[in-house]
Amino acid sequence: MSPTPILRVARPSDNLDALRPFYEHGLGFNLLACFQNHDGFDGMIFGHENAPYHLEFTCARGHAAGRAPTLENLLVLYIPDQDQWQAAVRRMRNAGFEPVPASNPYWDQFGKTFEDPDGYRVVLQRSVWAK
């Protein structure tokens, strides 16, 4: 059996410094790596040790990335345990980030949506993902 691949979601940003508090202090991700001037790119990689996913943010020198193209550019984190979900929402608020209304009202039923400094959104969903 082959190992499960690791998923890295990568996207550009114009302001890496503004993203760090959102993903590190708000969402509780670890800063796994950072780099500067790697072939003209600066970047940060967030995740959790031994988790099968990473979030990478890069800034290409001399290139403007712009903001999220729509309000529906989402990362959804399913947190089914009520206490863990409340702790995650509290951590976001304590880091200075307040929920925003979801573009799709479905996400407001059992979740809270937060917008990062680039306009991309993360939903903390208090449910189990089911097919």
Which residue do the tokens 């988790």 mark?
51
CATH 1.10.3720.10 fits domain 7-60: no
In the chain, what are the domain boundaries? 7-60, 74-125
User: For the segment 72-101, what is each residue's pLDDT rounded down to a tens digit?
Assistant: 999 999 999 999 999 999 999 999 999 999
Q: Are 114 and 121 in contact (CB under 8 A)?
A: yes
What is the spatial distance between Cα 66 and Cα 14, in angstroms, rounded to a whole number? 7
Residue 130 has pLDDT above 90, yes or no: no
Determine the topology of domain 74-125 in CATH.
2,3-Dihydroxybiphenyl 1,2-Dioxygenase; domain 1 (3.10.180)
> pTM above the 0.85 mark?
yes
User: For the segment 36-79, what is each residue's pLDDT rounded down to a tens digit?
Assistant: 999 999 999 999 988 999 999 999 988 999 999 999 999 999 99
Locate 45 and state its tokens.
């990689």
Q: Half-sphere exposure of residue 57, counting CA atoms within 13 Å on the CB side? A: 22
Q: Are 118 and 68 in contact (CB under 8 A)?
A: yes
